[in-house]
């Protein structure tokens, strides 16, 4: 499945809006050489019109209007505006800018003319472009360079070169904030009302009649600058302001009781953030905290965030401070915007961390907003995907991570709803006290918080708090902040939590005489990007290509060096997995690159043999007939030659309309090496890779209905139905009813496609492990499955999901090599992919006959074996009636601690061995056969019990 890209997943849209709109003092503006979109962007995209020259158009050509909200002119030399279609994967048009935009003024960028001839002319543009823009929806970026953008989606909000961006129309894939601006017609544009900029396209833009303005128009009055806050002396008692408590400011509701009012309040500093982008402090009422039972203001928080970078740089934790300023709700976080402050000399009772378990409701959390906490009870990691980008770790209160609702209940069921509610109650962020993106060029030289390459931060790992934290609300989520910005450079004194190491060197022993596994190998391509034309790349912090982003059919490594990094981890994982048969998904289908179809599979097999020894591994060759049209990735098999052997040729599903948008299932029959001539120990294994959830397929039910199953659910249901028929055909031809359906089904455990398979009689083995194969959006679940037919289920001896990938930070992938100065790549199996492998043990060979119980009246001859009282004996000569073990020199010798051979099989002779007539041994290069019972008699002794063979 491909739910994620090789770039770090950005925070949810609401997170991004809060992030890029972080509080910035309004005093002075310095235009940077590179800028990320923010509320203080030096230049804005103010209006966009794409209906020019079309029927009903307002003007004869398209345009983009820019606005300078500041007090000084801004040079646009070396800048550009770039355009992309609503759903396009590239920025397809660009107009380079010149000159400057005046303070408070506009700048008009004219674009393509339409075919109409009766529309009004634009005002004289400041620069001419030729982009034919959409009249209904697209995306435009203002860029502080002339390099073509390579970002899409929310990633563009963190691109240092993007100064501003607007996406409009409901289908656009790139925008700022909660959603795109409204769609337009030939007669309308989207524009900012009063140049509003909250870094949310949906909120800032509205449609209306186009009103293009160039730089020659009179600029708007520039705003009066607000002076930087400076400390003021404590007033004399006669003129002292009314001091309100922080609890009075907060009140007991979700919005501050004194929202919109100017206040003066006092408290003790519990956290300071002069760096990292928070630009403020947390202030808490002196003496508050400790045992909640002693709370003097139940229901109302005793702490508040005070916004002022200057204040944050002047005070320390423990200072007693009086602050005057306005109360606001900034993205639902109560704050006082400090206008003045004084560090008081009078002593104040220290704040005590509130000792509490995780509050499950918003009301309980609001009552603790901003307060210093000593979290109690169990917490585990539930999300580490954004840790290497934003320094954020998702936690779940309790002993288990958050779970995908459709992993535990049918879509729309009460069980799924209960799981969703449980997720909402237990989820909390553990943050780093900053808004920084550590993958950006400006921050990648700062060591990452939390991740150091030594102490894993894995989903499901227990969390131990070692220092108090502040309960904070940002990015539309509750979070726990350290008391100052945390980075890898100050972790020893600042990091407030540690994580248990849950890694294992191998999966659990699943038993059986044949072990079968499935493993999605994350776009293993031996055709690298540099061998093709048009490839665009994800790059490291030095700008070197690491993996293919778009522009060509390759999906893996950018070059041989990165392929080796990827391959090393995959080989380590497959080797340590211990399986005899490994079904692979997301491996290159090499015929798409004018090579033999099995080339990449052969290359991976060679790498396995180089690691494990020549001849250890082999691959299953492609069928003689393959589909005429295939994806560039495919399904495949490798197997250990000493343990497994294919029976017959592989088969691929041909002619199925259901798999027109997925990878066709591949089937192969296997048996243990040296297996029976009949099909009694055969098992059919069918490997699969169904359509992903990320985009809608061609069928009527493929649109995402919001029930948790994602897009293309009907496609996957059709694929599951076709798979059942295909597996039945292959099994009938193979003469066995033991079948395993394995692979990446892109469906969680209780979703429709899996139910199609279980309704057909198959049993999903993954849920028996209590583990999951995938993690997405902070929730675990299994997209990968092994489903056993009834006969195969009887042969199952064990199942394990080896958690080496989905639970690991994405920062450990080869694709994130050198993204940050803390380089987390290593050659271990951990994060060799984004899916975890499943391994299943099967007992396929017929069990050896057990020894019969000894009976007193049965005649036994030399070599007969019996059991008695849990012990096994072999007859040394003819006997009847003598109890085994009753006499040391009797007719019976006990089998166990001493060696007893089987007739007809040659063993190395040992003096302590018990041998009977017909046993064969090897001694000094000669084979000998026993004529009668013996022990200690050296082979070759004249007239002894041994006779040389041959």
Q: Which residue has the tokens 């292959």?
A: 730
Asked whether residue 753 carries a pLDDT value surpassing 80, the answer given is yes
211-225, 542-556, 591-605, 832-846: range with lowest mean pLDDT: 211-225
Mean pLDDT of 778-784: 98
Is the CA virtual torsion 914, 915, 921, 927 positive or negative? positive
- Cβ 526 vs Cβ 571: under 8 Å: no
pLDDT band, residue 941 (cuts 50/70/90): confident
Coil vs helix vs strand at 868: strand
Strand partners for 96: 80
Q: What percent of the chain has pLDDT over 70?
A: 92
Asked whether residue 669 carries a pLDDT value surpassing 60, the answer given is yes
- Residues 754-773 pLDDT 10s: 999 999 999 999 999 999 99
Give residue 139's pLDDT.
95
Q: Which of 635, 793, 799 has the alpha carbon at shortest distance from 726?
A: 635
Report the alpha-carbon distance of residue 882 to residue 576 in Å, rounded: 51
pLDDT band, residue 924 (cuts 50/70/90): confident
Exposure of 388 in the CB half-sphere (CA atoms within 13 A): 28
**For the chain, what's the residue count?**
950
Give residue 153's pLDDT.
83
Give residue 901's pLDDT.
56
Question: Which DSSP state fits 618?
Answer: E
Give residue 4's pLDDT.
30
- Cβ 813 vs Cβ 831: under 8 Å: yes
Angle at Cα 419 formed by Cα 416 and Cα 425, nearest 5°? 145
Mean pLDDT computed over every residue of the chain: 89
Angle at Cα 307 formed by Cα 304 and Cα 308, nearest 5°? 140
Q: Which of 152-156, 451-455, 887-891, 941-945 has the largest mean confidence?
A: 451-455
Which runs of E-coded beta strand occur in 44-119? Answer: 44-49, 61-67, 74-75, 80-85, 93-96, 100-101, 106-113
- Cβ 497 vs Cβ 431: under 8 Å: no
6-10, 474-478, 653-657: range with lowest mean pLDDT: 6-10
Give residue 10's pLDDT.
27
CA 679 to chain centroid:
41
Give residue 40's pLDDT.
81
- Distances from the Cα of 330 to the Cαs of 44, 135, 251, 701, in angstroms? 22, 35, 16, 41
Strand order in the sheet with 189-192: 127-128, 106-113, 61-67, 44-49, 189-192, 205-208
6-15, 278-287, 766-775: range with lowest mean pLDDT: 6-15
100-104, 368-372, 806-810, 927-931: range with lowest mean pLDDT: 927-931
Q: Which of 683, 670, 663 has the alpha carbon at shortest distance from 743?
A: 663
Asked whether residue 899 carries a pLDDT value surpassing 60, the answer given is no
- Residues 570-600 pLDDT 10s: 999 999 999 999 999 999 999 999 999 999 9
Asked whether residue 157 carries a pLDDT value surpassing 90, the answer given is no
- 488's tokens: 């890898």
Helices 752-759, 713-734: crossing angle, 10 deg rounding: 30
Mean pLDDT of 373-397: 96
Q: Which of 431, 423, 425, 424 has the alpha carbon at shortest distance from 479?
A: 431
pLDDT band, residue 236 (cuts 50/70/90): very low
Give residue 152's pLDDT.
85
- Cβ 556 vs Cβ 563: under 8 Å: yes
- Cβ 531 vs Cβ 12: under 8 Å: no
Which pTM does this prediction carry? 0.71
Give residue 904's pLDDT.
53
Report the alpha-carbon distance of residue 467 to residue 341 in Å, rounded: 28
Q: Which residue has the tokens 């209007």?
A: 65
Give residue 906's pLDDT.
64
- 181's tokens: 């601006």
Give residue 34's pLDDT.
39
Report the alpha-carbon distance of residue 545 to residue 553 in Å, rounded: 16
- Residues 164-190 pLDDT 10s: 999 999 889 999 988 899 999 989 999
Asked whether residue 897 carries a pLDDT value surpassing 60, the answer given is no
Mean pLDDT of 42-53: 94
pLDDT band, residue 196 (cuts 50/70/90): confident
Strand partners for 516: 581, 840
Give residue 113's pLDDT.
87
Task: Name the more confident of 117 and 342.
Answer: 342
């Amino acid at each position: 499945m491909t739910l994620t890209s090789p770039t770090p997943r950005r925070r949810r849209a609401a997170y991004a809006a809060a992030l890029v709109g972080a509080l910035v003092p309004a005093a002075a503006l310095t235009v940077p050489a590179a800028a990320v979109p923010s509320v203080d962007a030096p230049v804005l995209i103010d209006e966009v019109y794409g209906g020019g020259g079309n029927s009903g158009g307002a003007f004869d050509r398209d345009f983009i209007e820019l606005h300078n909200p500041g007090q000084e002119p801004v040079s646009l030399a070396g800048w550009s505006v770039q355009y992309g279609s609503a759903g396009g994967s590239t920025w397809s048009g660009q107009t380079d800018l010149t000159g400057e935009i005046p303070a408070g003024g506009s700048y008009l960028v004219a674009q393509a003319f339409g075919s109409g001839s009766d529309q009004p002319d634009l005002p004289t543009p400041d620069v001419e472009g030729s982009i034919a823009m959409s009249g209904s929806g697209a995306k435009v970026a203002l860029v502080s360079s002339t390099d073509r953008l390579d970002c899409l989606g929310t990633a563009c909000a963190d691109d240092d070169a993007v100064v501003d961006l607007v996406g409009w129309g409901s289908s656009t894939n790139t925008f700022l904030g909660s959603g795109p601006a409204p769609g337009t017609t030939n007669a309308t544009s989207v524009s900012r009302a009063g140049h509003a900029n909250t870094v949310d396209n949906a909120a800032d833009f509205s449609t209306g009649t186009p009103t293009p303005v160039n730089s020659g128009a009179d600029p708007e009055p520039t705003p009066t600058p607000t002076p930087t806050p400076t400390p003021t002396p404590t007033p004399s008692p006669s003129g002292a302001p009314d001091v309100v408590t922080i609890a009075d400011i907060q009140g007991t509701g979700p919005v501050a009781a004194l929202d919109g009012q100017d206040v003066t309040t006092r408290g003790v500093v519990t956290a300071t953030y002069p760096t990292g982008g928070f630009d403020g402090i947390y202030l808490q009422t002196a003496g508050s905290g400790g045992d909640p039972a002693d709370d003097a203001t139940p229901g109302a928080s005793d702490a508040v965030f005070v916004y002022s970078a200057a204040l944050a740089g002047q005070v320390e934790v423990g200072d007693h401070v009086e602050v005057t300023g306005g109360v606001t709700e900034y993205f639902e976080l109560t704050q006082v915007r400090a206008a003045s402050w004084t560090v008081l000399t009078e002593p104040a009772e220290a704040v005590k961390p509130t000792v509490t378990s995780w509050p499950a409701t918003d009301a309980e959390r609001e009552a603790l907003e901003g307060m210093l906490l000593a979290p109690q009870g169990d917490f585990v990691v539930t999300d580490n995907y954004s840790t290497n980008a934003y320094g954020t770790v998702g936690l779940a209160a309790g002993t288990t991570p958050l779970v995908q609702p459709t992993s535990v209940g049918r879509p729309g069921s009460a069980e799924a709803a209960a799981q969703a509610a449980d997720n909402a109650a237990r989820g909390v962020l553990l943050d780093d006290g900053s808004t920084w993106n550590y993958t950006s060029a400006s921050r990648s030289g700062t060591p990452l918080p939390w991740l150091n390459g030594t102490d894993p931060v894995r989903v499901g790992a227990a969390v131990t708090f070692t220092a108090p934290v502040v309960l904070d609300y940002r990015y539309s989520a509750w979070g726990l902040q350290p008391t100052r910005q945390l980075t890898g450079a100050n972790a020893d004194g600042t990091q407030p939590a540690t994580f248990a190491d849950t890694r294992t060197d191998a999966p659990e022993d699943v038993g059986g005489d044949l072990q079968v596994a499935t493993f999605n190998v994350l776009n293993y391509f031996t055709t690298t990007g540099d061998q093709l034309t048009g490839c665009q790349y994800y790059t490291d912090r030095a700008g070197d290509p690491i993996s293919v982003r778009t522009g060509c059919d390759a999906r893996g490594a950018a070059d041989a060096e990165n392929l080796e990094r990827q391959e090393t981890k995959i080989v380590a994982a497959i080797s340590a997995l211990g399986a005899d048969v490994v079904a692979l998904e997301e491996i290159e289908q090499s015929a798409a690159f004018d090579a033999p179809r099995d080339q990449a599979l052969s290359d991976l097999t060679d790498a396995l043999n180089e690691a494990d020894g020549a001849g250890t591994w082999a691959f299953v060759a492609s069928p003689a007939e393959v589909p005429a049209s295939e994806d560039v990735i495919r399904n495949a098999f490798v197997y250990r030659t000493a343990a497994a052997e294919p029976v017959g040729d592989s088969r691929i599903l041909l002619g199925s309309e259901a798999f027109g948008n997925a990878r066709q299932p591949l089937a192969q029959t296997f048996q243990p090496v040296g297996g029976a001539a009949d099909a009694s120990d055969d098992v059919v294994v069918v490997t699969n890779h169904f359509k992903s959830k990320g985009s809608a397929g061609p069928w009527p039910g493929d649109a995402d209905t919001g029930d948790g199953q994602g897009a293309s659910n009907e496609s996957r249901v059709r694929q599951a139905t076709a798979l059942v028929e295909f597996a039945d055909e292959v099994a009938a031809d193979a003469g066995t009813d033991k079948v395993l359906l394995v692979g990446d089904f892109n469906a969680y455990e209780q979703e429709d496609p899996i139910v199609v398979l279980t309704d057909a009689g198959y049993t999903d083995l993954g849920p028996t492990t209590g583990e999951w194969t995938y993690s997405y959006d902070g929730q675990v679940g299994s997209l990968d499955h092994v489903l056993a037919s009834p006969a195969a289920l009887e042969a199952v001896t064990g199942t394990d999901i080896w958690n080496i990938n989905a639970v690991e930070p994405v920062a450990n992938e080869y694709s994130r090599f050198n993204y940050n100065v803390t380089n987390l790549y290593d050659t271990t199996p951990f994060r060799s992919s984004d899916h975890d492998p499943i391994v299943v043990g099967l007992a396929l060979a017929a069990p050896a006959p057990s020894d019969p119980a000894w009976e007193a009246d049965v005649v036994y001859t030399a070599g007969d074996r019996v059991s008695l009282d849990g012990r096994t004996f072999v007859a040394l000569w003819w006997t009847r009636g003598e109890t085994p073990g009753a006499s040391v020199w009797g007719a019976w010798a006990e089998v166990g601690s001493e060696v007893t051979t089987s007739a007809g099989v040659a063993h190395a002779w040992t003096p302590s061995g018990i041998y009977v007539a017909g046993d064969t041994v090897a001694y000094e290069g000669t084979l000998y056969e026993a004529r009668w019972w013996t022990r200690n008699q050296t082979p070759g002794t004249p007239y002894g019990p041994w006779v040389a063979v041959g």
